[in-house]
A and B are shown apart, each in its own frame.
Chain A
Amino acid sequence: EAQVTQNPRYLITVTGKKLTVTCSQNMNHEYMSWYRQDPGLGLRQIYYSMNVEVTDKGDVPEGYKVSRKEKRNFPLILESPSPNQTSLYFCASSLTPSGVQPQHFGDGTRLSIL
């Protein structure tokens, strides 16, 4: 089954404790992206990747890191999480960034930073 898999689905942690949210897709998609969803703000793009070893900042990259060492994986790293990063995070992928295919979204990761 074609899917985007995120882990963990839920995480409660404390300020400053490094964490990684994994994202994996099995569709051989070139484009992958991370979003955060906050009430009243819609989805905002954090980082995106056009292909292996190619990443770029979205609208809200501060406090986040990503890497794309393999085509299927695109982890989101919070080196020193802070409470303002408490949010719902979505990973998404598409064959190409602009085309007839929409992005496929993972189920989301709800992060709470205390």
Chain B
Amino acid sequence: ELKVEQNPLFLSMQEGKNYTIYCNYSTTSDRLYWYRQDPGKSLESLFVLLSNGAVKQEGRLMASLDTKARLSTLHITAAVHDLSATYFCAVDGSHTGNQFYFGTGTSLTVIP
């Protein structure tokens, strides 16, 4: 069974600071997705990473994928309050079928 672990589960950070969320997965996959969920809302796609070494950036968020290490990172630069949300990574089990596996999520709170 493919497992996806995110660290940390909870993150409280001050505005203006940088931090990284980590997503490790247990088996081979070439595709990784990052989603954002605001409280009481649905999931919104942030990034799609399709190959080893892929890097995507949007505003203060940058995501990368290392398929050899089975690791993706979501880096937050100069955090602002609007980034407060829960962030999920998800792995496409393309080598084991067509299932998707989500991490447990990282709840981010940005404090003024």
Residues of chain B from 25 to 53 with CB closer than 8 A to chain A in the complex: 31, 33, 35, 41-45, 48, 50
Q: Which residue of B lies closest to A38 (CB)?
A: B104
**B interface footprint on A75-107 (CB within 8 Å = 1, 0 otherwise):** 000000000000000101000011011111111
Q: Answer yes or no: A66 CB below 8 A from chain B CBs.
A: no
**A interface footprint on B88-100 (CB within 8 Å = 1, 0 otherwise):** 1010101001111
CB–CB B92/A98 < 8 A:
yes
CB–CB A97/B104 < 8 A:
no
CB–CB B98/A56 < 8 A:
yes
Additional A-B contact list (20), CB under 8 Å, known A44-B102, A98-B98: A35-B102, A42-B102, A42-B104, A43-B90, A48-B99, A56-B97, A56-B99, A59-B99, A90-B43, A97-B94, A98-B92, A100-B50, A102-B33, A102-B45, A102-B48, A103-B45, A103-B100, A104-B45, A107-B42, A108-B42
Q: Answer yes or no: B22 CB below 8 A from chain A CBs.
A: no
Q: How many residues of B contact A (CB 8 A)?
A: 26
Bound-state CA distance A102–B100 (Å) is: 11
Q: Which residue of A lies closest to B94 (CB)?
A: A98
- Tell me which of A33, A42, A50 contacts B105 (CB under 8 A): A42
For A104, the chain B residues whose CB sits under 8 A away are 45
Q: Which residue of A lies closest to B9 (CB)?
A: A40
B37 CB, nearest partner CB in chain A, Å: 9
**B interface footprint on A49-83 (CB within 8 Å = 1, 0 otherwise):** 01000001011000000000000000000000000
CB–CB B98/A50 < 8 A:
yes
- Tell me which of A45, A50, A98, A108 contacts B101 (CB under 8 A): A45
- A90-B42 contact in complex given A41-B104, A42-B88, A42-B104, C-beta closer than 8 Å: yes
Bound-state CA distance A42–B6 (Å) is: 10
